[in-house]
Structure 1
Amino acid sequence: MLIGNSCISIDNLSTLIQNVPKLRHGLVKSDIFPQDRQNFSSCVKICSDGVINNLTNVPNSEGIILYLRLLRSIIIAYNDKETTPIHRLYHAWFPVFVSRWWYTWIANMRKVDLDDILYELSGIKNNRKNKKHQFFITNNAYYCIEINANQLMYLALLVTEKKLPPEAMNIYLFSSQTCEGMFRSARSISGTFSSVVNFTVQEFFNRAQKLSLLNKIKTESEFFSMNGTLVFPKHYKQGKKLKKHNIISNHNTLNVDIISSTILQAFNDATNLIHGFKIKNFLDEKKITNMKQLNSYIHNILTQRINIMDYSDLYEEKDETSDSEDELDIVCQFRK
């Protein structure tokens, strides 16, 4: 991948592992060359502060540092349980604005110029037939960044309007594993001698309310234990206590003004970060200088993608991955 005057390559991480002691970054070769593509633990290690700080001593590593910061913000926004709602919004929108600047730069650059920059930085002579999408993250990844950030903003606004409870901002619970665990717990409420494993939706809601009450009692007995209170026995796997601020979060500070200032701060930080890659000066010439112009440009691009008509046979099999990756070049042709 390519961003401005920097190349994003795994070679920088390989150099870090070879030249810097493991105690300083904690990486091994299997972390950057994983056999399992869904190895999330390796992704967390690669995005750690130790790796990012030590990469500053590796030559020509500015691009990979920006990319790792983008990934780290995504992890903090959607997976970290200790993130407050305001910081969750910030780290959700920071990668959005970085990706928008990055995408806008690639869309306005000529393919020949991108190939020349890549050859100058890495010595790789690119095939002229390849498309622009190879210089950017996959379309699926970019869509996820945009959709998740906008959905999180929507949830935050509903919380400020008191249409949703503050617990709706605990989005790390929005996963299939949590839902499956909830269903298993609801099914386990059945009596010992009961053979019924299925129940209606209303019965599930009733059991979910019982589980909610039990969890509330367990939490209060753990953090506000007093003489005479109920104490629930715990499984050894649940022996580790959660931090108190994870359970009792300060949602009272979530309002429209603070949300607006947080999004603006994320935009300013992303813009300042992009300044070091000689992208902003090029986009200034294209009259894309502020948040409104950037958002309007991305909105037009995404609208053109949606309006692209597909006249292919509905029953015809085709490679969806390759088609989606060519969307960037199709939109650029439409703009011309």
Structure 2
Amino acid sequence: MRICLGFFSRAPNVDLLTGNDNLLTIDTPSNWTFFFMRPQQLFLCMQDGTHLVTKIRNRLLSETTTLNINNDHVDINHLLHLIQNQPKLDHNLVRSDIFPHDKQNYSSCLKITSDDVLILLKQMNNKATYIYLYLLKLIILTYVKSDTEILSRLFFGWGVTFAYRIWWNSIRINKNLSQTEKDNSFITRAAWLSSEINIHTLTFIIILVSKGRLPSYALNCHLFSSQPCESTFRSARSLSGSLSSITTFSVSQFINKIGKISILNQIKSIQESSNNEYSLKFPRHHKNRRDESHASTNIQNVPTITIQHIEKIIIKAYNKAVIIMNNLLITEILKESNLNDIHKLSSFVFHKLDKRSTVDYSIINNFDAYDSLDDDDDDNTVNEPSNIDLLEYIEESPDEHENEEYNLTTSKQTFFGMKIYEKINSTKINIYFKIIINNKYYYMHKQTPARLLTVNKNHLSSDRRFRVKQTSKQH
């Protein structure tokens, strides 16, 4: 995601922008030092809001981290103390909400960020834990809740972003902490960059919609979730027979299945809206019974939003973040380093992230070098100009770990069906590695070791026929 968006990551050998006439482009003012995303994108993407929330919550559960904001610890035990010493009617929490068995349990995130819990934490003077969970609540309002207005999403999202930047800066300029201690005092880098990408993408979309380059329904970021996609794929797979072991489809097959699902959904929609006494009734999941009628009303006013209006909201969000973090006197630390300004703060963050940007030197070939469905005949068929003798290859590129090679001993002379060859096609050198068998060099396909090391299970975990057989045995 970061490589595609060019967000502190680049791929020198892959150019997605040059020669493409369908790029999404925005014009941002030169004084927007807080905006890190490039103004041209081939497509836009966001981290699933639900997963982002659980990522940040799970950081709180980690036993190896010591989250702290200006030496004030963010501790899960504050919530445990709340359960033990406060009436349940006041907080409505149970122990499983604090220590969920399922790390992707989103409902527990809602409960620990409820207004009642936040009020009690504030009364108990657990400031750092209160701020951590309050920012988590703002993320929920920004990316998950369906009834949040779009300008409120923009305000909440940038407020969280600036609060995290202030927190991160205060840790980085602390000379009394080692690098490991600095990393353990903050949320994970993946979660932080995901929150940055989300708010930049949301701002990008708002600008495009205001310019009329995207439809207004593109602002429904609460629908940018993997769960509807997963549900669609599960429905498509369920159209196969119960004894079918096929779990993947071609694009054409998938489109045909989606067409059938679309017809069923159309029938379902017509029947549910019908007042006929004999209309068909379809089962509904309990999560879909919730009232989602509170749609955002901000879409009607989006075309009137200007860049100046967006900038005012972002600056207002920065001031709100300063007020939040100033509860722990963290802004005093930034003043000492002359980082108490939105532009200086953002420039410092940009400089540090740019120094640690990721570089991917992958290349796009004309063949699928990593296709796991290569035929044995294709692998074993070599043309004379493209042949690579293993010994010649070793002379040209000596192995740095030659002393660590192991000699495999076997009575076999041929390895039919195992993808082990003396010579291979030079275009497929990346999907093989060299081994020594009976004091002789061979090429082994990268899939082969996984099968050789498999002792007990000779089938895929998704083999539906095996599951059906097991179920029938139980009955």
| Structure 2 length-normalised TM | 0.52
Task: Give me the whole-angstrom Cα distance separating, in 1, the residues matched to 2:148 and 2:82.
Answer: 29
2:142 match: 77
Check whether the contact 1:80–1:172 (CA below 8 A) recurs between aligned residues: yes
**Aligned ranges for residues 1-336 of structure 1 at < 5 Å?**
1-59=67-125, 61-111=126-176, 130-182=180-232, 200=251, 204=255, 211=262, 218=269, 235-237=283-285, 240=289, 242-246=291-295, 249-254=297-302, 255-256=305-306, 257-306=308-357
Check whether the contact 2:236–2:257 (CA below 8 A) recurs between aligned residues: no
Computed over aligned residues only, the root mean square deviation of the Cα atoms, in angstroms, reads: 3.8
Check whether the contact 1:3–1:102 (CA below 8 A) recurs between aligned residues: yes
Give a deviation string over 1:126-155, Cα, whole Å, max 9, x none: xx7953211111111111111111111111
Q: Secondary structure at the match of 2:170?
A: helix
- What percent of counterpart residues are identical? 33
Report the CA distance between 1:198 and its aligned residue.
5.9
Task: Give me the whole-angstrom Cα distance separating, in 1, the residues matched to 2:355 and 2:294.
Answer: 45
Task: Give me the whole-angstrom Cα distance separating, in 2, the residues matched to 1:205 and 1:91.
Answer: 41
Report the CA distance between 1:33 and its aligned residue.
2.3
Check whether the contact 1:111–1:132 (CA below 8 A) recurs between aligned residues: no
Task: Give me the whole-angstrom Cα distance separating, in 2, the residues matched to 1:38 and 1:241.
Answer: 21
Distance 1:295 1:202, change over 3 A: farther
* 1:7 partner letter: H
Distance 1:235 1:277, change over 3 A: same
Q: Secondary structure at the match of 1:251?
A: helix
Check whether the contact 1:47–1:72 (CA below 8 A) recurs between aligned residues: yes
Report the CA distance between 1:5 and its aligned residue.
4.7
Report the CA distance between 1:203 and its aligned residue.
8.6
* 2:142 partner letter: A
Which structure has more relative contact order (CA 8 Å, sep 6+)? It is 1
Instruction: Report which of the two has the higher share of strand.
Output: 2
Give the structure with higher Rg (CA): 2
* 1:141 partner letter: A
Segments of structure 1 that go 5 or more residues without pairing to the other structure are 113-127, 191-196, 316-336
Check whether the contact 1:74–1:92 (CA below 8 A) recurs between aligned residues: yes
Report the CA distance between 1:80 and its aligned residue.
0.9
Distance 1:30 1:294, change over 3 A: same
Distance 1:129 1:135, change over 3 A: closer
Check whether the contact 1:186–1:204 (CA below 8 A) recurs between aligned residues: no
Distance 1:249 1:186, change over 3 A: farther
Report the CA distance between 1:66 and its aligned residue.
0.2
Segments of structure 2 that go 5 or more residues without pairing to the other structure are 1-66, 241-247, 362-400, 402-429, 434-475
Give a deviation string over 1:201-230, Cα, whole Å, max 9, x none: 69949967x949x77x959x96xx9x99xx
Distance 1:84 1:205, change over 3 A: farther
Check whether the contact 2:91–2:116 (CA below 8 A) recurs between aligned residues: yes
| Structure 1 length-normalised TM | 0.72
Report the CA distance between 1:233 and its aligned residue.
5.3
Check whether the contact 2:118–2:133 (CA below 8 A) recurs between aligned residues: yes
Task: Give me the whole-angstrom Cα distance separating, in 2, the residues matched to 1:307 and 1:176.
Answer: 25
Task: Give me the whole-angstrom Cα distance separating, in 1, the residues matched to 2:290 and 2:181.
Answer: 51
Segment of structure 1 superposing worse, 40-49 or 167-176: 167-176
Report the CA distance between 1:181 and its aligned residue.
3.3
Task: Give me the whole-angstrom Cα distance separating, in 2, the residues matched to 1:103 and 1:296.
Answer: 13
Check whether the contact 2:236–2:254 (CA below 8 A) recurs between aligned residues: no
* 1:109 partner letter: N
Task: Give me the whole-angstrom Cα distance separating, in 2, the residues matched to 1:76 and 1:283.
Answer: 28
Task: Give me the whole-angstrom Cα distance separating, in 1, the residues matched to 2:309 and 2:269.
Answer: 33
Give a deviation string over 1:86-123, Cα, whole Å, max 9, x none: 112122211110000000111111125xxxxxxxxxxx
* 2:197 partner letter: I
* 2:312 partner letter: S
Check whether the contact 1:155–1:168 (CA below 8 A) recurs between aligned residues: yes
Q: Secondary structure at the match of 1:136?
A: coil
